[in-house]
A = this chain, B = another copy of it.
Amino acid sequence: MLTSVDPDVIRVLGDPLRLKIVSLLARETLCTTHLVEETGAKQTNLSNHMRVLREAGLVETEPCGRFTYYRLKPEVLAGLSEQFAELAASARTAADNKRACP
């Protein structure tokens, strides 16, 4: 029903590093140390991005001793996928649905 997509979630995913983090977390659940190794970014930088991802509701944290594991929440991505699919479907039918010149 063309629900208004939340710009914040998309904005969060617009950053290259965050998108890479999400891609990595889509494969396996990792902790900050792993992400530092994989991305090559500083730990502080990573932690900041993880904070943003957490506040956007994209990841969940799971403490494990001294480590903090991050798990991706698939529902949010699935929701995004569905909303974009709706937009695409609507756009296909709106191709020649032109409003008259004023």
- A residues whose Cβ falls under 8 Å from a Cβ of B: 2, 4-5, 7, 10-16, 19, 22-23, 25-31, 33-34, 64-65, 67, 69, 71-75, 77-78, 80-82, 84-85, 87-92, 94-99, 101-102
Q: Are A2 and B19 in contact, with the CB atoms below 8 A? A: no
**In the complex, A11 Cα to B73 Cα: how many Å?**
20
Q: Are A28 and B74 in contact, with the CB atoms below 8 A? A: no
- Identical chains bound together, number: 2
Q: Are B69 and A98 in contact, with the CB atoms below 8 A? A: yes
**In the complex, A90 Cα to B74 Cα: how many Å?**
8
Known: A26-B87, A90-B26. A101 touches B2 (CB 8 A): no
Shortest CB–CB separation between residue A13 and chain B, in angstroms? 5
